[in-house]
């Protein structure tokens, strides 16, 4: 998010410091509380439409992101999933793709997921001002800032009975981040998850970044760029390390059977962080807890309606500048989907930014189950 904030400042002010801010946030952010924040956006319109409440119920190709233990639920056929979303009217782009392949014994599943968050065509204003002090707009060039994550997932069944199912899973994460030709970073981490399901109850637990995911940054400035940075009293970064602290996500879901063809599933997740006090429902120096609540109505397992709320925060009441009274605010989301044969198409309308700068956008995703046709 710091990269987006720097870009917006650069577009407003249009001067030299804009470019440096982009690199500054990457170079000086050691042990940041919101490191690798693009990995917390979400994946798939189903989960985003339910407010990110997915740890217990996820059971498709997006499970590599939400809870790798859910991958093994897809037992008979490979499955692929794609999602695209825009930030700031197309300035930023967020994409997700995954493929899962069950083993022949249907007790294990492998998956590969790719996430990309990028801002393209960022003006490089480093040489906007000539040595004589004049402004030369012909010196402006553009570059891209992109974050990539590759998730290698494994899931296995420990118990598979009619009324009791127990699955475990894990991710090996590889992170690659690039800011134009100026900076690159590599990072590595591990996630672990578990799911327990009965006929009506579903429970899930995920430990993200259990090994404390890190990003190691390297910077590559030309001699001319270093000279400009020096003359403008800016530090010239060489190397730095950015850490991502572990977090736990616990969730439970319950399915209400309303009729023969109509089911209602409700899920609640608790996102627990241990990197200092946050503006959440429960915030302390030891642990902060951020809830996510979602519901999904299924009609004949062919049409779905979804809703959710998340991102609870305390903020000043609108128009109350005198008493400085704070009230609780939250982020709602809506979604829908339908299934036709082996194809699922989902839609969500939700806020992908933050409460101080809400940005609601339309999100579409598609999932295709690669089922082989039986020979007659």
Rounded Cα gap, residues 95 and 302, in angstroms: 25
Report the pLDDT value the prediction gives residue 367, as an integer from 0 to 100: 92
State the virtual CA torsion across 314, 89, 46, 341 in degrees, nearest 10: 170
Is 80 exceeded by the pLDDT of residue 24?
Answer: no
Residue 368 has a CB neighbour count (10 Å cut-off) of 17
Of 37-41, 270-274, 349-353, 360-364, the range with the lowest mean pLDDT is: 349-353
Mean pLDDT of 45-62: 93
Q: What is the DSSP string of 272-309?
A: EE-SS--SSSEE-SS-EEEEEEEEEEEETTTEEEEEEE
Rounded Cα gap, residues 24 and 234, in angstroms: 9
The class (CATH top level) of 2-369 is mainly beta
pTM for the whole structure: 0.81
Contact predicate 337/361, CB 8 Å: no
Rounded Cα gap, residues 201 and 188, in angstroms: 34
Report the pLDDT value the prediction gives residue 56, as an integer from 0 to 100: 94
Which two three-digit tokens encode residue 282? Answer: 């429960």
Report the pLDDT value the prediction gives residue 126, as an integer from 0 to 100: 78
pLDDT in tens, 165-216: 999 999 999 999 998 888 899 999 999 999 999 989 999 999 999 888 888 8
Report the pLDDT value the prediction gives residue 10, as an integer from 0 to 100: 36
Report the pLDDT value the prediction gives residue 357, as an integer from 0 to 100: 60
pLDDT in tens, 271-318: 999 888 888 888 888 899 999 999 999 999 899 999 999 988 877 766
Rounded Cα gap, residues 326 and 322, in angstroms: 11
pLDDT in tens, 3-22: 344 334 333 333 333 333 33
More confident residue, 353 or 113: 113
More confident residue, 94 or 319: 94
* Band of residue 45 on the pLDDT scale cut at 50, 70, 90: very high
Burial tier of 253 (Cβ tally within 10 Å: 0-12, 13-18, 19+) = buried
Report the pLDDT value the prediction gives residue 51, as an integer from 0 to 100: 92
What mean pLDDT value characterizes the chain? 82
- Cα separations (Å) of 215 from 36, 92, 106, 175, 312? 9, 22, 36, 8, 29
Mean pLDDT of 367-373: 78
Burial tier of 43 (Cβ tally within 10 Å: 0-12, 13-18, 19+) = buried
Report the pLDDT value the prediction gives residue 20, as an integer from 0 to 100: 32
Report the pLDDT value the prediction gives residue 32, as an integer from 0 to 100: 62
Report the pLDDT value the prediction gives residue 8, as an integer from 0 to 100: 41
């Amino acid at each position: 998010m710091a990269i987006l904030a720097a870009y917006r400042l650069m577009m407003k002010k249009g001067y030299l410091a804009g470019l440096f801010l982009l690199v500054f946030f990457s170079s000086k952010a050691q042990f940041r509380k919101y490191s690798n924040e693009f990995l917390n956006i979400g994946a798939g319109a189903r989960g985003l439409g339910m407010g990110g409440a997915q740890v217990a119920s996820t059971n498709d190709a997006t499970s590599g992101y939400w809870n790798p233990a859910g991958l093994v639920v897809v037992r008979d056929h490979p499955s692929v999933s794609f999602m695209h979303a825009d930030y700031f009217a197309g300035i930023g782009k967020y994409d997700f793709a995954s493929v899962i392949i069950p083993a022949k014994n249907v007790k294990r599943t492998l998956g590969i997921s790719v996430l990309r968050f990028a801002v393209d065509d960022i003006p490089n204003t480093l040489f906007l001002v000539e040595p004589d002090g004049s402004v030369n707009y012909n010196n402006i060039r553009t570059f891209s800032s992109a974050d990539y994550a590759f998730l290698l997932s494994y899931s296995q069944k420990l118990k598979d009975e009619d009324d009791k199912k127990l699955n475990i899973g894990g991710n090996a994460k590889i992170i690659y981040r690039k800011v134009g030709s100026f900076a690159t970073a590599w990072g590595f981490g591990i996630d672990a998850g578990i799911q327990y399901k009965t006929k009506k109850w579903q429970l899930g637990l995920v430990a993200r970044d259990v090994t404390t995911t890190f990003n190691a940054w390297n910077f590559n400035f030309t001699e001319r760029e270093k000279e400009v940075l020096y003359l403008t009293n800016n530090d010239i970064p060489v190397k730095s390390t950015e850490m991502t602290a572990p977090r736990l996500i616990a969730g439970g879901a319950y399915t209400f059977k309303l009729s023969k063809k109509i089911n209602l599933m409700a899920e609640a997740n608790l996102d627990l962080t241990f990197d200092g006090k946050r503006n959440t429902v429960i915030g302390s120096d030891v642990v902060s807890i951020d809830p996510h609540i979602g519901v999904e109505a299924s009609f004949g397992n062919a049409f779905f309606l979804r809703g959710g709320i998340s991102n609870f925060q305390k903020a000043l009441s609108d128009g109350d500048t005198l008493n400085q009274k704070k009230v609780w605010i939250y982020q709602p989301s809506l979604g829908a989907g339908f299934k036709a044969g082996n194809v699922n198409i989902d839609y969500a309308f939700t806020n992908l930014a933050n409460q101080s700068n809400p940005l609601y956008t339309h999100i579409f995703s598609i999932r295709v189950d690669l089922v082989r046709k039986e020979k007659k």
